[in-house]
Amino acid sequence: MTSRRPPSTIAVPTWLHELHGTHSTRRDLALVHGCAWGVTALIAGLAVAEGLPPWKVALLALLVVDIAGGVVSNVTPGTNAHYNASRRARVVFLALHVLQPAVLIWLFPAWAGPVAGVAILTLLTAFAIEFAGRRASAAPVALSAAVGLIATILLAPAAFGPAPFAGLQLIMVLYVLKVAVAFPVDWYPGAEQAH
């Protein structure tokens, strides 16, 4: 007996499978894009208000739309099922997330220490969960690591001085939530993606 796609889901175009899986709901798509574009507008507004050059504002917007959208997307059933299907895709996904902190360090070198430190610990957490076996039981581990990393981000100004950009700490918090919590945990254990 072949499984059918539940009537509440819609097929996602192939070129968006890495973002939303093969099927999603209109509600999930609206939440992902609403969060992605809403947070991006906030960060871009802060960047403009602080007088960052337009190229930095544009680059930050590209980073933030991916990071903020990913926080929500990675806990949706469609994206969760898509990445459950391939360990290789999960490992590649995590490896690519060295690029975002690298760009932040390039943009804000005064905070290279906190950005690099948080990124390394975030990726170590995500890879540890991946190689231990992606399970829902990993959620407390991921959340505990995230609390520690977020505390580090919030305390970083005491050691490194104020963040060179007001939105930098928010971007880092979202990065931790996306990479160490939302992505590595299997939020729907036992669920099969309908085709």
pLDDT at 18 exceeding the cut of 90: no
The pLDDT value recorded for residue 5 is: 53
Answer yes or no: is 2 within a domain.
no
Answer yes or no: is 31 within a domain.
yes
Answer yes or no: is 156 within a domain.
yes
Answer yes or no: is 7 within a domain.
no
The pLDDT value recorded for residue 3 is: 45
pLDDT bracket for residue 21 (50, 70, 90): confident
Answer yes or no: is 101 within a domain.
yes
The pLDDT value recorded for residue 113 is: 95
Answer yes or no: is 139 within a domain.
yes
The pLDDT value recorded for residue 133 is: 82
**Across residues 148-170, what is the average pLDDT?**
93
Answer yes or no: is 125 within a domain.
yes
The pLDDT value recorded for residue 67 is: 97
What percent of the chain is predicted at pLDDT more than 70? 93
Domain hosting 111: range is: 12-182
Which range among 18-22, 88-92, 108-112 shows the weakest confidence by mean pLDDT?
A: 18-22
Higher pLDDT, 51 or 137: 51
Looking at the DSSP bridge assignments, the partners of residue 11 are 23
To the nearest whole number, what is the mean pLDDT of the chain? 89
Which range among 19-23, 42-46, 49-53, 141-145 shows the weakest confidence by mean pLDDT?
A: 19-23
Total domain count, the chain: 1
Segment 27-86, tens digit of pLDDT: 888 899 999 999 999 999 999 999 999 999 999 999 999 999 999 999 999 899 888 888
Answer yes or no: is 194 within a domain.
no
Nearest Cα neighbor of 193 from 8, 19, 1, 24 is 24
The pLDDT value recorded for residue 174 is: 96
